[in-house]
Amino acid sequence: MRLTGKTAIITGGANGIGLAACQRFAEEGANVVMADFDELAGKQSEADFARKGLKATFIQVDVAERNSVKQLVDQTLERYGRIDILINNAGITKDATLVKMDPLDFQRVLDVNLTGVFNCTQAVVPHMLANGYGKIINTSSVSGIYGNFGQTNYAAAKAAIVGMTKTWAKEFGRKGIHVNAVAPGFTATAMVDKMPEKVLDQMKNSTSLQRLGQPRDIANVYLFLASEESDYVHGHVLHVDGGIMM
C-alpha cells in the first residue's frame, strides 16, 4: 500500500484516465475524491468501486468555476481533514483548425484545461502549505509539447501547463510541495474515441510501441509521482506516450 492515509483529489475522476487513477489510488490505500462535472458517471463509478470493496467519494465540480472548486476543497477537508495529493487531470477538447475555430471554443478549452488547473491548485495549496507537504500532478499532453493539427486551443492550454508546473516547482519546492506534470500520448478514452479510425491508425503508427496508451498506463505514472518513490522528482514533465514521433 503506497498511499495509506493520504487524501487525493483527482479531477476528471469519473471517466477515462482519471477513473483509472481513482482505482489505482484506492487500491493503494488512499482516500480518493473523484472530482468531476459528470454526476451520472461519478455516482455510477462510486457505486462500482463500493461493489469491488474500494472506496472513493464522488464530489461534483466544475473546475472552471472558482466557487465550485472552493466547495470541492471544503467538502474534502470536512470529510478527510487534509489534502495530500492533487491530480489536475480534468480536460476537454473542442478541435478545429485555426481558421474554423469558434472563439468561444478557444476560450472554453482554456477555461477548463488551464484556468481549471490554476483554480484547483490555488484552492488546495494553502492547505498543503499548512501541512508542509503535498504532491501536485498536472496533466499536459503530447499536443502541448509538439503541437497537433486542429488543436490550437488544446495545445495552447497543455503547453501553458508545462510553464505553470515549472513555476510552481520553484515556488513550492522548499515548502515540501512536489510539483510535476505528465504528458500522455494518445490514450484509449472517450477523448480519442471521437477521432476517425484513419486518424487513430496514424496515431498508432507514429508511436514506437504501435499501440494507444491504456488509461492504466497513465494512472500508474500518476501513482508513481504521488508516492514517496518519486520524492526527488520535481518540476519534471514525464512523457508517457509509447515513444511517439509526431
By CB under 6 A, the count of residues binding ligand NAI is 29
How many angstroms separate the CA atoms of 240 and 242, rounded? 6
Q: Which of 192, 200, 237, 246 binds ligand NAI (CB under 6 A)?
A: 192
The nearest distance, CB 61 to ligand NAI, in angstroms, is 5
**120 to 179, contacts with ligand NAI by CB under 6 A?**
139, 141
Asked whether position 89 contacts ligand NAI by CB under 6 A, the answer is yes
Residue 28: C-alpha distances to residues 48, 52, 79 (Å): 17, 14, 19
Q: Which of 80, 133, 146, 154 is catalytic?
A: 154
The nearest distance, CB 75 to ligand NAI, in angstroms, is 14
Task: Mark residues 16-45: x for contact with ligand NAI by CB under 6 A, - for none.
Answer: xxx-----------------xxx-------
Cβ atoms of 151 and 197 within 8 Å: the answer is: no
How many angstroms separate the CA atoms of 162 and 237, rounded? 7
How many angstroms separate the CA atoms of 219 and 15, rounded? 12
Cα 78–Cα 83–Cα 84 angle in degrees, nearest 5 = 160
> Which of these ranges, 72-80, 125-133, 188-196, 229-237, lies near ligand NAI under the rule CB under 6 A?
188-196
Among 171, 172, 185, 175, which Cα is nearest to 217's?
A: 185
> Which of the residues are catalytic?
154
Binding site for ligand NAI (CB under 6 A): 11-12, 14-18, 36-38, 61-64, 89-92, 112, 116, 139, 141, 184, 186-187, 189-192
